[in-house]
Amino acid sequence: MEFTISQIAAILQGEIDGNGQEKVNTIGKIQDAQKGAITFLSNPKYENYIYTSEASAVIVKKDFVPTKSVKPILIKVDDPYSSFTRLLEEYDKIASYSKVGIEEPAYIATNATVGEKIYRGAFSYIGSNVKIGNNVKVYPQAYIGDHVTIGDNCILYSGAKIYANTVIGNNCIIHSGVIVGSDGFGFAPQQDGTYKKIPQLGNVIIRDNVEIGANTVIDCATLGSTIIDAGVKLDNLIQIAHNVEIGTNTVIASQTGISGSTKIGKNCIIAGQVGLVGHIEIADRVTLAAKTGLAKSVKKEGSVKFGYPAMDHKEYLKCHAIFRNLPELRERVNDLEKKTLNLPAK
Amino acid sequence: MEFTISQIAAILQGEIDGNGQEKVNTIGKIQDAQKGAITFLSNPKYENYIYTSEASAVIVKKDFVPTKSVKPILIKVDDPYSSFTRLLEEYDKIASYSKVGIEEPAYIATNATVGEKIYRGAFSYIGSNVKIGNNVKVYPQAYIGDHVTIGDNCILYSGAKIYANTVIGNNCIIHSGVIVGSDGFGFAPQQDGTYKKIPQLGNVIIRDNVEIGANTVIDCATLGSTIIDAGVKLDNLIQIAHNVEIGTNTVIASQTGISGSTKIGKNCIIAGQVGLVGHIEIADRVTLAAKTGLAKSVKKEGSVKFGYPAMDHKEYLKCHAIFRNLPELRERVNDLEKKTLNLPAK
Amino acid sequence: MEFTISQIAAILQGEIDGNGQEKVNTIGKIQDAQKGAITFLSNPKYENYIYTSEASAVIVKKDFVPTKSVKPILIKVDDPYSSFTRLLEEYDKIASYSKVGIEEPAYIATNATVGEKIYRGAFSYIGSNVKIGNNVKVYPQAYIGDHVTIGDNCILYSGAKIYANTVIGNNCIIHSGVIVGSDGFGFAPQQDGTYKKIPQLGNVIIRDNVEIGANTVIDCATLGSTIIDAGVKLDNLIQIAHNVEIGTNTVIASQTGISGSTKIGKNCIIAGQVGLVGHIEIADRVTLAAKTGLAKSVKKEGSVKFGYPAMDHKEYLKCHAIFRNLPELRERVNDLEKKTLNLPAK
């Protein structure tokens, strides 16, 4: 995509200092933007870069006065950072909404229904009785099993796999390699040492505005539903077991695992590589630090937990500070023993 | 699928209290089953739900006598819980065995051989010299590399990838995103700091009745075979490195990683996010608690290990209980030092 | 593939003891090689196996004199181990370079350009403006998004997914289920508790001779590039967040996660299940032990770190040795208190 500086200045309601008919076709950081790129200068400590920059345009503050000669065209605005963010969003919108239409061969069951302005990439699969809303992008090799429902404005990137009976809301983004609705890990031990599969007949419900990172897995419920509530953001390679429920606006970082039937509150922040046992409940606005192992429910809202087994964050840090000095503590005990060894008998 | 209450009562050998011609089309929990659903009441503490339930049918104990009026039709049996489980299994069987036939386009090499009652989903791939048994389901976009052998009654869900030369037994379930037979992580360090790939020419052997969870990876052996023995159940996002061997009926929870050439016994239980170093051996019936890091062989059958580096489970808990109180222990040492500081000299 | 013993002896410059017209079609370990296989004997402690082996041929030392009768044909060389490794490499080269041509249906945009001797498997996807070099293998169901550039001699196994704008060098191997270029995990918290997506407009650059293990994920940069430098080797199920940079010849084991904007030096060795926070820098030749959690930069080259929060490896082991004996240490403090409790007053 290519835009003139004038077009961009119009979007940002900025003033142009230079030739508005110059064109830009990409976006970059001021440190390394090249010809054809637009960038921004907000933090004064980066000012030096503007004097050597090869960028075609730089968004600057209205009152910016160069102290040396500047090659890029300037676009002057009130707040360069938020103008730049605005530009990113517009660019992203144009880029991600540009895919429309059907690339053959793409499979769709005869009784599936899809809305308007859909993109169905080559080798994508839409099963029996599927219902899909408007403005949905199903990238190449994505799979949508039978009886799945998907709302409006969703993106399923290449190779996302949605098992049968899943329900997905509006404005969801599902990245490549995500698996939604695979069987929960449920087996009944038998007397001969083997395990018998417990059928997993529930589904997964994903509400509006959820984003799911690459290669994350969400198992279906044994019965009922595994629920990912509105506004939840999941990073990559996360494990969500059967019958888990995750509350509105909770964010979870990469490689965390949540065991079966655990319920997580709203607006929680769970860092990377955390593990939660099954059948516990986490209150709203709880924070779990990276690599924490949580084996008990957290009932107090706003708690911050750390370590394994998890403790209050500050207490854990205190204990760990002593752990780091255990050799010294033991030395002090050795000394005390020496001193008291030959003490006069009581 | 839709069944009459009479049909279901016949399967369960139960007595009907109500209209046997009513129909049900789904299965649910007594807390939230709606019209059209069948559910069950086994634990008396849930009895209250039956008086407000909108379910179409409830499986109850033979001697159940309602204390208030009940809307759903009752099916009376000896053991409601096992009857319900039976129903789940039947339902699952019907649902998962319903897929048969070929959805075009599906790729199969001319010299591959497949058995009867096979399902080959659209965009599935079956390579050269592949041999597949009867009643196998190869879901859309699954990949079966050259020279792979698969037994009877297996399911490969959408996007499962089986590298060349893998051998899979009967009754195996392989979920979406599973990778079987990718190269082991073997590189020889060179004098100039680079690494030279060690060719990985072995394969993976998966015996009967194995289930492998979504996005789990099993690498092929450098030479010989990585072996997953009969009845093993693997959860999601697990890493099994080259030349690992996992004994019969061992179960492993999500996000655990097993390094190269490690051998695990029979009927072990390995929890989530556990890590095992390479080249160690684990005896039969060993349990490893969640997040354990195991750096040494475990020779005693039935051991339970925890922590990192791993210790006996009970010992670890004792040590951790003191860790949680390290500030107090240090305080006591401070006090002792104060008390002994001005003691009379020996 | 099938070779005569004579052909193999010619490659290895070895002498044949037996019928050079016999054929072999596979490679195995001396413990379990069967008819049709070639194996080797290097370590004298395995000598016994040669007298019962059913292998068709065994590579042995020039001066090897059997003490009993031997069934396999012998190929005598200076160094059996390095000859065998040589054979593995040749075999691997033949096996992996044998795939050439196009299996239909395979999708390629009209403006994409590909080099010579390419393999495009069935259901593979090559997007708009893609540029691919010579001798590249794109296995079935692999996905190459728009504007991607790939050098010579690369292999993308089945189901690898490369998002738009990624740049990949020469001689790279990308295993099944790898995701390159998915969105970084960037969200701006809003006043109402929801999160707003920060568009991720950068890309991923992968330099020459990189290998990436199955189901590993590499996110694109917010702006600029996530960079995997030449010679890096990544194991399976690894998470590389946005704007991370990994230096030349660094190797990383399975299930490790690296948070956003962290920079890792050259020739580092990072073990499995390690976690690194964002925005830190790791010097060259640093080693991180398995399961380490690293929250601070490591400035000293060649450091070895362990534990969480990470400490110097040796110090951590000292502290952990005392941790394992904390019950005894507490007992000693108890004793000291008893002894000093009734001491004469100062």
Q: Taking CB atoms and an 8 Å cutoff, what residues of chain A touch C141?
A: 123, 141, 159
**How many Cβ contacts (< 8 angstroms) between chains B and C?**
170
Q: Kindly report the nearest CA distance between residue C2 and chain A, in angstroms.
A: 36
pLDDT of residue C93: 65
**Which residue, C154, C155, C157, is CA-closest to C176?**
C157
- Segment C300-313, tens digit of pLDDT: 999 999 999 999 99
- Segment A172-213, tens digit of pLDDT: 999 999 999 999 999 999 999 999 998 888 899 999 999 999
Active site residues of A: 242
Instruction: Inspect the interface and report whether the beta carbons of A327 and C339 lie closer than 8 Å.
Output: no
**What mean pLDDT do residues A83-96 have?**
75
Q: Which residue out of C236, C274, C332 would a mutagenesis test of the B interface target, given it has the greatest number of B Cβ atoms within 10 Å?
A: C236
Is the per-residue pLDDT at C263 higher than 90? yes
- Residue B120: beta bridge partners? B102, B138
Q: Kindly report the nearest CA distance between residue C231 and chain A, in angstroms.
A: 24
Collapse the DSSP code of C193 into the 3-class scheme (helix H, G, I; strand E, B; otherwise coil) and give the result: coil
Band of the pLDDT at B96, cuts 50, 70, 90? Answer: low
Band of the pLDDT at C317, cuts 50, 70, 90? Answer: very high
pLDDT of residue C98: 75
Collapse the DSSP code of C28 into the 3-class scheme (helix H, G, I; strand E, B; otherwise coil) and give the result: coil
* CA dihedral sign of residues B168, B169, B170, B174: negative
Q: Is residue B332 part of a domain?
A: no
pLDDT of residue A345: 45
* Residue C127 sits in the same domain as residue C264: yes
* Residue B168 sits in the same domain as residue B285: yes
- d(Cα A256, Cα A290) in Å, to the nearest integer? 9
Instruction: Inspect the interface and report whether the beta carbons of C255 and B277 lie closer than 8 Å.
Output: no
Q: Kindly report the nearest CA distance between residue B283 and chain A, in angstroms.
A: 15
Nearest-Cα residue of chain C relative to residue A229: C194
Q: Identify which of A115-119, B2-6, B14-18, C336-340 has the greatest average pLDDT.
A: A115-119
| Among the partner residues B141, B200, B315, nearest to C141 by beta-carbon distance | B141
Is the per-residue pLDDT at A296 higher than 80? yes
Q: Taking CB atoms and an 8 Å cutoff, what residues of chain A touch C318?
A: 326-327
Domain's final residue, options A59, A80, A96: A96
pLDDT of residue B345: 45
pLDDT of residue C346: 42
pLDDT of residue C201: 84
pLDDT of residue A28: 85
DSSP per residue, B154-218: -EE-TT-EE-TT-EE-SS-EE-TT-EEEEPP--EEEPTTS-EEEPP---EEEE-TT-EE-TT-EE
Q: Kindly report the nearest CA distance between residue A222 and chain B, in angstroms.
A: 10
Quote the mean pLDDT of chain A: 93
DSSP per residue, C33-66: --TTEEEE--SGGGHHHHTT---SEEEEETT---
- Segment B260-281, tens digit of pLDDT: 999 999 999 999 999 999 999 9
pLDDT of residue C45: 87
**Counting Cβ atoms within 10 Å, is residue B93 exposed (0-12), middle (13-18) or buried (19+)?**
exposed
Instruction: Inspect the interface and report whether the beta carbons of A199 and B291 lie closer than 8 Å.
Output: no
Q: Taking CB atoms and an 8 Å cutoff, what residues of chain A touch B91?
A: 199, 201
Instruction: Inspect the interface and report whether the beta carbons of C257 and A251 lie closer than 8 Å.
Output: no
Quote the mean pLDDT of chain C: 93
Q: What is the CATH number of the domain that holds C230?
A: 2.160.10.10
* Residue B179 sits in the same domain as residue B300: yes
Instruction: Inspect the interface and report whether the beta carbons of A251 and C342 lie closer than 8 Å.
Output: no
% of chain A at pLDDT higher than 90: 78
**Which residue, C174, C166, C156, C161, is CA-closest to C130?**
C166
Is the per-residue pLDDT at A341 higher than 90? no
Query: Cβ distance B271 to B253 under 8 Å?
Result: yes
Instruction: Inspect the interface and report whether the beta carbons of B215 and C177 lie closer than 8 Å.
Output: yes
Instruction: Inspect the interface and report whether the beta carbons of A311 and B324 lie closer than 8 Å.
Output: yes
Instruction: Inspect the interface and report whether the beta carbons of C28 and B239 lie closer than 8 Å.
Output: no
| Among the partner residues B123, B161, B182, nearest to C236 by beta-carbon distance | B182
* Residue C87 sits in the same domain as residue C169: no
Instruction: Inspect the interface and report whether the beta carbons of B241 and C249 lie closer than 8 Å.
Output: no
* Residue B266 sits in the same domain as residue B163: yes
Pairwise pLDDT comparison (A214 vs B223), residue with the higher score: A214
* Residue A294 sits in the same domain as residue A150: yes
| Among the partner residues A185, A223, A340, nearest to B28 by beta-carbon distance | A223
Q: Kindly report the nearest CA distance between residue B200 and chain A, in angstroms.
A: 25
Tell me the pTM: 0.88
DSSP character for C298?
B
- d(Cα C232, Cα C246) in Å, to the nearest integer? 8
pLDDT of residue C97: 54
Q: Taking CB atoms and an 8 Å cutoff, what residues of chain C touch B224?
A: 28-29, 32
pLDDT of residue C345: 46
State the total domains in chain C.
Answer: 2
- Segment A125-160, tens digit of pLDDT: 999 999 999 999 999 999 999 999 999 999 999 999
Q: Is residue B336 part of a domain?
A: no
Q: Is residue A70 part of a domain?
A: yes
Q: Taking CB atoms and an 8 Å cutoff, what residues of chain B touch C176?
A: 143, 161, 163, 179, 182
- d(Cα C256, Cα C236) in Å, to the nearest integer? 9
pLDDT of residue C343: 56
Is the per-residue pLDDT at A344 higher than 60? no
* Residue C140 sits in the same domain as residue C240: yes
Q: Kindly report the nearest CA distance between residue C192 and chain B, in angstroms.
A: 31
Band of the pLDDT at A82, cuts 50, 70, 90? Answer: confident
* Residue C90 sits in the same domain as residue C113: no
> Any catalytic annotation for residue B320?
no
Q: Is residue B24 part of a domain?
A: yes
Cβ partners under 8 Å of residue A10, min gap 6: none
Instruction: Inspect the interface and report whether the beta carbons of C198 and A237 lie closer than 8 Å.
Output: no
* Residue B36 sits in the same domain as residue B115: no
Strands B233-234 and B211-212 come out as: parallel
Question: Structural domain of residue C140, as residue ranges?
Answer: 101-317
pLDDT of residue B11: 84
Q: Which of A75-89, A118-132, B46-60, C317-331 has the lowest mean pLDDT?
A: A75-89
* Residue A141 sits in the same domain as residue A89: no
* Residue B285 sits in the same domain as residue B156: yes
Q: Is residue B127 part of a domain?
A: yes
pLDDT of residue B124: 98
Domain's final residue, options B96, B130, B150: B96
Band of the pLDDT at A346, cuts 50, 70, 90? Answer: very low
- Cα B244 to Cα B227, B234, B255, B280, C275: the distances in Å are 6, 14, 16, 10, 24
Quote the mean pLDDT of chain B: 93
**Which residue, B206, B208, B138, is CA-closest to B171?**
B208
Q: Taking CB atoms and an 8 Å cutoff, what residues of chain B touch C248?
A: 193
- Segment C133-189, tens digit of pLDDT: 999 999 999 999 999 999 999 999 999 999 999 999 999 999 999 999 999 999 999
Nearest-Cα residue of chain B relative to residue A238: B237
Pairwise pLDDT comparison (C242 vs B337), residue with the higher score: C242
Q: Taking CB atoms and an 8 Å cutoff, what residues of chain C touch B333?
A: 333
% of chain C at pLDDT higher than 70: 96
Q: Kindly report the nearest CA distance between residue B212 and chain C, in angstroms.
A: 15
Q: Which residue out of A104, A125, A259 would a mutagenesis test of the B interface target, given it has the greatest number of B Cβ atoms within 10 Å?
A: A125
Domain's final residue, options C44, C78, C96: C96
Q: Identify which of A1-5, B30-34, C115-119 has the greatest average pLDDT.
A: C115-119
% of chain B at pLDDT higher than 70: 96
Q: Taking CB atoms and an 8 Å cutoff, what residues of chain C touch A175?
A: 179, 182-183
- Segment C193-245, tens digit of pLDDT: 999 998 888 899 999 999 999 999 999 999 889 999 999 999 999 999 999 99
| Among the partner residues B175, B290, B337, nearest to A332 by beta-carbon distance | B337
Query: Cβ distance B23 to B56 under 8 Å?
Result: yes
- Cα B217 to Cα A162, B69, B179, B317, C182: the distances in Å are 19, 54, 5, 32, 20
Q: What is the CATH number of the domain that holds B76?
A: 3.40.1390.10
**What mean pLDDT do residues B283-302 have?**
98
Band of the pLDDT at B342, cuts 50, 70, 90? Answer: low
* Residue A115 sits in the same domain as residue A215: yes
Q: Which of B175, B242, B279, B313 is catalytic?
A: B242
Q: Is residue A91 part of a domain?
A: yes
Q: Is residue B221 part of a domain?
A: yes
Q: Which residue out of C27, C93, C103, C123 would a mutagenesis test of the B interface target, given it has the greatest number of B Cβ atoms within 10 Å?
A: C123
pLDDT of residue B10: 86
Q: Taking CB atoms and an 8 Å cutoff, what residues of chain C touch B344?
A: 344
Q: Is residue C164 part of a domain?
A: yes
Q: Interface pTM (ipTM) of the complex?
A: 0.86
- d(Cα A188, Cα A110) in Å, to the nearest integer? 39
Q: Which of A29-33, A213-217, C123-127 has the lowest mean pLDDT?
A: A29-33
- Segment C47-89, tens digit of pLDDT: 999 999 999 999 999 999 999 999 999 999 999 988 888 888 7
- d(Cα B200, Cα A28) in Å, to the nearest integer? 41
Query: Cβ distance B272 to B235 under 8 Å?
Result: yes
